[in-house]
Structure 1
């Protein structure tokens, strides 16, 4: 399904325009070194440390994409399966259930070859299906509000497509109906003005490819290509080319067969990366914007940039190999 050869960091310059894992491996190596106890990410506010499950899952995807640091990915999943960590992220299943995080965690389990129907003693797939509304939308069950969006719907389709029952057609139709007139996707459903965003469009494209709606994915792929910068980068909100948007867009372009545009995105990411000449503490890291190695943003930027560097799409991603 996914085949990657192992290369060394001293590869010839020509490899900058191919989908070999050398640059992704370098980035994954830096990302792994940032993990607490080699298993998780944490945030600190006011002297209090909080678990960062979302970034930890992003790292699991990044390691699987780069085909490296498998032991870090395994430890991360074991940490995520701890009851207090799992319930703090996806909800307790009774009082709170969050569709987006449940779907994202289920997909991470599938990528790692773990049964998502029995993850940390929780049936993530069953819980996710319970959160589908008659309209096809996956919604949260929480007294704190509704946080579901295009990412939620996309991750749900990606995870459920890998199950025996598959993804519900109504769910994919609901996603397609949310598309803006220009072909891209907004972040939130039901807004008075539909404004397309790069990150959400990249996720929606991959979900549609996974469930076989290729003509619908092609519409959004054309929009992505139309907003790509001349240097290969993509930007959201401010429009400035950045690693997170370019990583996701590059991954979607590769999954959708837009190889030329995907290679341009990869070249942009390589230009951001701290190489062997960088400060040893930043070697391999990919800041979100050029030269700005912010410790609070670079880890997530690196994790998502790896997706564009290696080019393996979510519909096919596996840690095997």
Structure 2
């Protein structure tokens, strides 16, 4: 699984004040997610029994709150936490290290939140990302531990840079286009042979290519996605059962690309994974990772990425300015 999707989460609920109940599924999911934040500002992950702050998952929360246009106060606190110099540098890289995915994802989060990307936690995220552009058009990590850049990081870079005045560099766009597999999908590893299309990578790449003005290539990717959709509307990685993370990403792409029938089926699958009024009060609104049911170890990450699918908003269209508070699912 991708770094965005993996990891176990053990989270301490925040003490956010209650707000009126909602029948909106995206709002309810975002509200549940907000209540899982540590100190109302961040998410933490459990590695070997030790809790560690998770900047990447916290950014996923910022995206989810922007998509649902709720829990705006939690998003503000998350951005404030992310902009602490130690958090920023620890995430994007310091001491000679620099990571594409982290630069691009944090740049996009800053843009969505209306923060200044040129001075975020003491880092110029825009310049730092452009410094990782290679002559081939690929954004590559500068790290002693190896280059872990992939379709996710390339797509995030294009989505973030498309929001700047100069736009996304043409060589970077061409590089992503050049990774497309013969079947129309996109691989996780652009250098892998043979080319094996991947649901998550294709969902990200098609959103990026639509944003930067390559709709034809994006539609080819969407056609591949439709072809691998499960009968229940969900999407999975490889031969694995459908999950909320992959379906949330695919649903964003399908909705943005006008594949309405497939998008409706994907949304229904996401709803089927959401804990409703029959579930325990403290779980209502959460989205389970798979149909096996709610698991606190995976629900936070699954819910964060499912919200964009439930809210009908893709990464290219996220903006801040929603309501504050953490809505609860309305039940009789």
Shift of 1:261: 1.3
Runs of 4 or more above 6 Å deviation: none
Unaligned runs of 5+ in 1: 1-6, 11-21
Per the alignment, residue 270 of structure 1 pairs with 271
Q: Say yes or no: does 1:233 pair with 2:246.
A: no
Per the alignment, residue 60 of structure 2 pairs with 58
Per the alignment, residue 162 of structure 1 pairs with 163
- In 2, Cα distance between the equivalents of 1:155 and 1:45? 26
Per the alignment, residue 14 of structure 1 pairs with none
- In 1, Cα distance between the equivalents of 2:48 and 2:136? 42
Shift of 1:47: 4.2
User: Contact 2:275/2:294 (CA < 8 Å) preserved in 1?
Assistant: no
The one-character-per-residue Cα deviations of 1:104-133 (angstroms, maximum 9, x if unpaired) are 000011111112112112110000001000
Per the alignment, residue 173 of structure 2 pairs with 172
Per the alignment, residue 254 of structure 1 pairs with 255
- In 2, Cα distance between the equivalents of 1:75 and 1:216? 38
- In 1, Cα distance between the equivalents of 2:257 and 2:78? 29
- In 1, Cα distance between the equivalents of 2:204 and 2:33? 22
- In 1, Cα distance between the equivalents of 2:299 and 2:86? 27
Q: Which residue, out of 15, 20, 25, partners 2:27?
A: 25
User: Contact 2:251/2:267 (CA < 8 Å) preserved in 1?
Assistant: yes
Per the alignment, residue 203 of structure 2 pairs with 202
Unaligned runs of 5+ in 2: 1-19, 323-332
Per the alignment, residue 213 of structure 1 pairs with 214
**Matched length:** 303
- In 2, Cα distance between the equivalents of 1:137 and 1:271? 38
SS at match of 1:266: helix
Per the alignment, residue 13 of structure 1 pairs with none
- Alignment RMSD, CA only? 1.3
Q: Which residue, out of 26, 34, 37, partners 2:36?
A: 34
TM-score by length of 2: 0.89
Q: Which moved more, 1:109-118 or 1:165-174?
A: 109-118
SS at match of 1:296: helix
User: Contact 2:89/2:123 (CA < 8 Å) preserved in 1?
Assistant: no
Per the alignment, residue 133 of structure 1 pairs with 134
Shift of 1:8: 6.2
- In 2, Cα distance between the equivalents of 1:198 and 1:295? 24
SS at match of 1:293: coil
Shift of 1:49: 2.4
User: Contact 1:51/1:85 (CA < 8 Å) preserved in 2?
Assistant: no
Residues 265 and 47 from structure 1, CA distance in 2 versus in 1: closer, same or farther, beyond 3 angstroms?
A: closer
- In 1, Cα distance between the equivalents of 2:52 and 2:67? 26
- In 2, Cα distance between the equivalents of 1:133 and 1:225? 33
SS at match of 1:32: helix
Per the alignment, residue 15 of structure 1 pairs with none
SS at match of 2:186: coil
